[in-house]
Amino acid sequence: MYSNKGRYALAGLFVLCTVICVYIAQYQLASVSFFLFAFIWWSHIKHSSVLLASKYFKNAEYERADKILEEVENPERLAKNRRGYYEFMKANIALQREDYEVAEFHFQLASRYPLGGKNDTAFVLIHLANLALRKKDKNRALTYAEKAKSLATTSRATEIIKIIEKEANAIADIQDE
């Protein structure tokens, strides 16, 4: 759970240890140090700072979480389980800023990656349904609500889905008049 600067410093330390161990002919220690460097670099590519950002996100420190998420240089290289959380946090931060287009984009991406469980995916779809309602798009809202209903495992999610369906049908009634 390091930021990019911390990870670079740690990787540099392992490279330095590798060079020193080779210089003093301690090849086994040099190989261990090199493998630790390789692990840090692999971790940087596949996991980046998503876990650290989630710590701030859970504490509702959205600006700090966004700053840490900005350190992710190439989100496409993240591991699938990390990419889902990355997109989910970016979408929720965009919702906090009331940037609904960006939020919808990131929720769309988050829905394609595995999250914690079925209920978490259901909440992503619920957010997408709410954003469709905001645009007064009844068909998309009902489609997302139907998919979310099949994944929802909590009563809270089920209640929210019922409210979305009522609002979508109310939009349809208004448009029919």
Per-residue model confidence as pLDDT tens digits over 34-68: 999 999 999 888 888 888 888 888 898 999 999 99
Residue 32 lies in a domain: yes
- How many other CB atoms sit within 10 Å of the CB of residue 42? 10
Q: In the block, which residue shows the tokens 């970016």?
A: 90
Residue 34 lies in a domain: yes
Structural domain that includes position 29: 1-46
Measured CA to CA, the distance from residue 137 to residue 110 in angstroms comes to 20
Residue 111 lies in a domain: no
Residue 131 lies in a domain: no
pTM: 0.82
Percent of the chain scoring above 90 in pLDDT: 32
**What is the per-residue pLDDT across 6-24, written as a single tens digit (0 to 9) for each?**
889 999 999 999 999 999 9
Residue 84 lies in a domain: no
Q: How many domains does the chain have?
A: 1
Residue 38 lies in a domain: yes
**8 Å CB contact between 139 and 174:** no
pLDDT band with cut points at 50, 70 and 90 for residue 174? low
Residue 30 lies in a domain: yes
Contacts of range 78-83, beta carbons closer than 8 Å, 24 or more positions apart:
78/46, 78/47, 78/48, 78/50, 79/46, 79/47, 80/113, 80/114, 81/113, 81/114, 82/46, 82/47, 82/48, 82/50, 82/51, 83/109, 83/113
**What is the per-residue pLDDT across 91-109, written as a single tens digit (0 to 9) for each?**
999 999 988 999 999 999 9
Instruction: Summarize the confidence of residues 149-153 as an average pLDDT.
Output: 81
Q: Which two tokens stand for residue 164?
A: 């979305």
Residue 142 lies in a domain: no
**What is the per-residue pLDDT across 112-123, written as a single tens digit (0 to 9) for each?**
888 878 878 888
In 3D space, the residue among 172, 168, 134 whose CA is nearest the CA of residue 149 turns out to be 168
pLDDT of res. 67: 92
